[in-house]
Amino acid sequence: MGALNVLIAVSIAYVIFLFGVAFLAERANKRGQGGFLRMPVVYTLSLSIYCTAWTFYGAVGYAARSGLEYLTIYIGPSLVMIGWWWLLRRMVRIGRTQRITSIADMISSRYGKSNVVAAGVTILAVIGTTPYIALQLQSVALSSSVFVGASGGQDVELTSVALYVAIGLAIFTILFGTRNLDVNERHYGVVMAIAVEAVVKLFALLAVGVFVVWFVADGPADILERIEASPISGWHISGGRWAGLIFLSAAAFLCLPRMFQVMVVENDNEDHLRTASWAFPTYLMVMSLFVVPIAVVGLELLPEGSNPDLFVLTVPLATGNEALAMLSFIGGFSSASSMVIVAVIAVSTMVSNHIVLPIWLWANRMEQVTLSGDVRHVMLLSRRFSIVGITLLGYLYFQLSGGGSALAAIGLIAFAGVAQVLPVLIGGVFWRGATRIGAFAGMTVGFAIWMYTLLLPSFGAWSPFIMNEGLFGILWLRPQAMFGINGMDPLLHAMLWSISLNTLTFVVVSLGSFPTPIERLQGAQFVNVFDHSTQAPSWSGGVAQSEDLMVMAQRILGARETQDLFEREARRQGVNGYLPDPDPEFLQVLERQFSGVVGAATAHAMVSQLVGRASVSVQDLLAVANETAQIMEYSSQLEAKSEALQRTARQLRRANEKITQVSEQKDDFLSQISHELRTPMTSIRAFSEILRDSEKLSTKDKLKYSDIIHSEAMRLTRLLDDLLDLSMLENRRVKLNYERATLSDLLDDSATVALSGEEVDLRVRRNRASENIEIYSDVERLRQVFINVIRNAQKYCDAEKPELRIKVAQSDARLTIDFIDNGSGIARKSQEGIFDKFVRVNASKAGGAGLGLSICREVMTSLGGEITYLPGQGGAAFRVILPESATPPVQ
């Protein structure tokens, strides 16, 4: 009786201690003092819920029965952790970016947020987890009964102990597991309690191990000798089981709902994984270090037929170490309770989000959800009921199965069941072609084979006929020898067929089916999670009214959080108040918030109901899926931009040069014009002074001086006329008088006028036949141009026998008249400026003001034609081009 009381007292004290730890951790976090809660070591220790009571007690029993085979259960997860870079890192990043709440949520989110897939995974998880919870309850009940029985106390009612434990754990889980709804606000209390329990169970097992090695035996050397002498001295493990179990434990490590919960959902910082990658294998190694010694010593010490599963407890008891036995009991209790708590949280979240809530929403219609009914309340309630339900299920399973040895074997069977998610999980993370239908088909096939070949035979559910002759008498369908594979280990056999056919179905159906847009979008986001961590299953279209969204959000997230969120979003959009526009970005943020509470599938369904759209647009899809194209486009845009910039720079440079030139020309113009005006003015002034002041001038002189004054005044007038003319031409204020004329006549006139009264003889060569063209233009203006050009030749041609050729050519659209002399022409660098004002190529021969060609150009522009310098003709060459309109067809 005393032993039982002590046991109960210690257990209750330990439970109170756990509650205290969880409570203090929650409070510290709320006060912002929870820095220690986010240390990598806490994350690593929380992973230790992998080591349940089954591994705490069972590993020793396993070793006593099958030697080193138990190590496979630890080696698999060690390999997964050491290979974190491949898969875990991706899973954690995806879990964080997509706000994943459970493994079912992860799978459903990847496969187009399908609730059917999520429900399937949930059912698998419940079936796989329930026996496991039963196992934990059994271990606690069994260990306490052994403890009390060995102390000579009364027998303990196994089932009642299990019931109390179940109730206690359910209360703890409800208190600390449903405190906050949003999974992204992590369960710091629970995680901290689990970390403490991890230390307790490790310490307990180490204590027993140290006791066995150094106090019962004489140190490591002695232990190795004892191992040699024991029944498990040789290596008798079949290769298939060794490899198969390593694979199975690795798969289970990734797929078990409780592992996913602590590894991905409760992960606070991706960097913690880096530490856990070596720290957790260390934990596993240390946990398994003393298993064989304890088993060997137990086999030696204890009478034949005693349960090896309880050696951890019975060895200290048999050697009279009650305190150590108590510690060992607490260690086992820790393992059991932490597993149950996390497993129940994980599975209840799945059940509530993927089964209860969708049914409730479906039953209540979406319109009512937004207007009445408190989703938040419903969710909390459903999650609490799920917790109670699953714990109860575990208890019932324990009671119905009678807690026999069948339960011990269930651990691996459950592993194999949960491992059916693995192909879909890995395919979803690495293969964009994986589709929802493929995933569903694969999991269904795997699950069915697992049930048929492993789970049901373990209950003895099949008749001997089916076991021996196969279903419907088909030999190939024998549950433990499918397709004629005989004599294989049943577990290995089931695993081989279920996983391989699962994968095959998944791949083949995926290859043959076509994913919906949202599947493709999610697929791209999962597979390329490191490329674009901006996740955009975006909503376009603004059917939803912000107010409706707010009403709904308040029911899910709570009023305060919703208002904060909406205000923040409104501010981001630059809107005042609490109602942001329902733009895609905002809807996406909102959906992600929802999915942290109700899971991706339900969140998507809720928002899509309200927004009135159930899928993403092609644009959204392209935006994410074609990121390569985007990058390429972006770089080509950059290229185009830089090209445009270069072009602009070139243009600017040219403009700058031009401006500099123009400014210089303006200066030249001013000095030129002053000079041009000054010269005649000076002589006018001088001669008029002479006329005024000298009284004795002869009439002849007077006449001569007056002539000079007159001619200088004329020159001034001409200059001013030219300037005025040019200015008017430039401003297009010239009235043009169009009339008909023959080109040859016009050229005759021009040559005569241009060459009259000049001393140097310029010979003009023409081809009169080609000049017989009737033109329609401002003849006077055109004549002005011709005269100017001919006069230039006459003035500047430096040949010994100056000669000017006038060539007329009529091409399809225009008439060209070339004036080519036989001089040395104009230097290339001067060619560009010759049409500018006051530019004289040869300043020494300056006769005019340098306005002639400027005027010519303006005239030609006014007439719709042009005048250009024609290089490469052996002398100075000007081409006058008349437009088509100037040469009307001859009537």
Residue 209's SS3 state is helix
Residue range at the interface with another protein (CB under 8 A); choices 82-90, 351-359, 742-750, 808-816: 82-90
Q: How far apart are CA 58 and CA 330, in angstroms?
A: 15
Does residue 277 belong to the site contacting another protein (CB under 8 A)? yes
Judged by CB under 8 A, the residue of 11, 21, 42, 67 near another protein is 67
Site for another protein in 240-269 (CB under 8 A): 242-243, 246
E strands present in 358-516: none
227: contact with another protein by CB under 8 A: yes
Q: Which of 135, 140, 248, 292 binds another protein (CB under 8 A)?
A: 292
Q: Which segment (183-191, 220-228, 456-464, 826-834) binds another protein by CB under 8 A?
A: 220-228
> Using CB under 8 A as the criterion, what x/- string covers residues 167-206 for binding another protein?
----------------------------------------
Q: Is 230 in the site for another protein (CB under 8 A)?
A: yes
- Separation of alpha carbons 346 and 133, rounded Å: 13
Per-residue x/- track, 479-518, another protein (CB under 8 A): ----------------------------------------
Q: Which helix (H) or strand (E) holds 265?
A: none
The amino acid sitting at 557 is L
**289 contacts another protein (rule: CB under 8 A):** yes
Q: Using only the alpha carbons of the chain, give its radius of gyration.
A: 50
In whole angstroms, what is the distance from residue 154 CA to residue 631 CA? 76
Helix 322-351 × helix 115-150 angle, to 10° = 160
Closest to another protein by CB, 167 vs 237, is 237
Question: Which distant-in-sequence residues (6+ apart) come within 8 Å of 622 by Cβ?
Answer: 629
Site string for another protein, 85-124 (x = CB under 8 A): xx----------x---------------------------
> 574: buried, middle or exposed (CB in 10 Å: 19+, 13-18, 0-12)?
exposed
Residue 155 three-state SS: coil
What is the nearest approach in angstroms of another protein to the Cβ of residue 433? Answer: 20
Q: Which is nearer to another protein, 235 or 472 (CB)?
A: 235
**Closest listed residue to residue 95, CA positions, set 588, 599, 431:** 599
Output the DSSP codes for 481-527. SGGG--S--HHHHHHHHHHHHHHHHHHHHHHHS---HHHHHHHHHHH
Closest by CA to 859, choosing from 839, 841, 842, 835, is 835
Of 84-92, 335-343, 442-450, 600-608, the segment contacting another protein by CB under 8 A is 84-92
- Give the nearest distance from C-beta 149 to another protein in angstroms: 31
3-state secondary structure of 811: coil
Of 502, 386, 492, the closest CA to residue 447 belongs to: 502
| Closest CB 599 distance from another protein, rounded Å | 21
Considering only CA atoms, which of 766, 754, 846, 746 is closest in space to residue 794? 754
Residue 82 binds another protein, judged by CB under 8 A: yes
CB of 67 to another protein, least distance (A): 6
CA distances (Å), origin 258, targets 214, 233, 557: 36, 35, 25
Interacting stretch for another protein, rule CB under 8 A, among 252-260, 271-279, 348-356, 389-397?
Answer: 271-279
Helical axes 188-210 vs 158-177, angle rounded to 10°: 140
Nearer to another protein, 98 or 503 (CB): 98
Specify the amino acid at residue 194: I
Residue closer to another protein, measured from CB, 76 or 417: 76
Q: Are 682 and 712 in contact (CB under 8 A)?
A: no
Binding segment for another protein (CB under 8 A), chosen from 188-196, 270-278, 331-339, 574-582, is 270-278
Q: Does 232 bind another protein (CB under 8 A)?
A: yes
Would you count residue 238 as binding another protein (CB under 8 A)?
A: yes
Tell which one of 39, 41, 79, 485 touches another protein (CB under 8 A): 79
- Give yes or no for residue 83 binding another protein (CB under 8 A): yes
Alpha-helix residue ranges (DSSP H) falling in 31-57: 40-46, 53-56
CA 163 remoteness from chain centre: 49
Residue of 32, 239, 305, 473 that binds another protein (CB under 8 A): 239
Q: How far is the CB of 216 from another protein (least distance, A)?
A: 17
Instruction: Tell the smallest beta-carbon distance from residue 274 to another protein (Å).
Output: 5
Nearest-approach distance from CB 86 to another protein, in angstroms: 7
Which span (154-162, 225-233, 399-407, 845-853) binds another protein, by CB under 8 A?
A: 225-233
- The correct pick among 123, 171, 237, 504 for binding another protein (CB under 8 A) is 237
Tell me the closest approach of the beta carbon of residue 133 to another protein, in angstroms: 30
Cβ distance to another protein smaller for residue 86 or 738 = 86
Residues 403-462 that bind another protein (CB under 8 A): none
CA distance 187 to 349: 13
The answer for residues whose C-beta is within 8 angstroms of residue 767's C-beta and 6 or more apart is 806, 807, 808
Q: Minimum CB separation from another protein for residue 293, in Å?
A: 9
From candidates 5, 368, 533, 651, binder to another protein by CB under 8 A: 533
Other CB atoms within a 10 A radius of the CB of residue 686 amount to 14
Structure tokens at 564: 């904060």
Q: Which residues pair with 549 in a beta bridge?
A: none
Residue 392 makes contact with another protein by CB under 8 A: no
Tell me: does residue 68 bind another protein (CB under 8 A): yes
- Which residue is listed with tokens 């307990």? 204
Structure tokens given for 688:
């008029």
Per-residue DSSP letter, 213: I
Strands 763-766 and 738-742: unpaired
Which tokens belong to 196?
């403490």
Closest separation in Å from C-beta 279 to another protein: 8
Q: Which is nearer to another protein, 77 or 479 (CB)?
A: 77
Nearer to another protein, 223 or 424 (CB): 223
Residue with tokens 């796989």: 128
- Closest contact distance (angstroms) between CB of 35 and another protein is 15
Kind plus residue range of the DSSP H or E element containing 192 = helix 188-210
| Strand 803-810 with 763-766, pairing | parallel
Angle at which helices 517-527 and 88-97 cross, to 10°: 130
Using the contact rule CB under 8 A, the part of the chain among 231-239, 665-673, 848-856, 860-868 near another protein is: 231-239
Residues facing 86 on adjacent strands: none
Q: Does 271 participate in binding another protein (rule CB under 8 A)?
A: yes
Which token pair is 339? Answer: 């597993």
What is the rounded CA–CA span in Å between residue 814 and residue 816?
7
Least separation in angstroms between CB 496 and another protein: 16
Q: Tell whether residue 631 is a contact of another protein (CB under 8 A).
A: no
235 binds another protein (CB under 8 A): yes
Size of the site for another protein (CB under 8 A): 45
Using rule CB under 8 A, residue 228 touches another protein: yes
Nearest distance from C-beta of residue 99 to another protein, angstroms: 12
Nearest distance, CB of residue 341 and another protein, angstroms: 28
Which string of x and - marks every residue 534-573 that binds another protein (by CB under 8 A)? x---------------------------------------
Q: Are 312 and 332 in contact (CB under 8 A)?
A: yes
523 binds another protein (CB under 8 A): no
Nearest to 349 by CA among 88, 156, 516, 174: 174
Q: Which residues bind another protein (CB under 8 A)?
A: 67-68, 71, 75, 78-80, 82-86, 97, 224-225, 227-228, 230, 232-239, 242-243, 246, 270-271, 274-275, 277-279, 281-282, 285, 289, 292, 530-531, 533-534
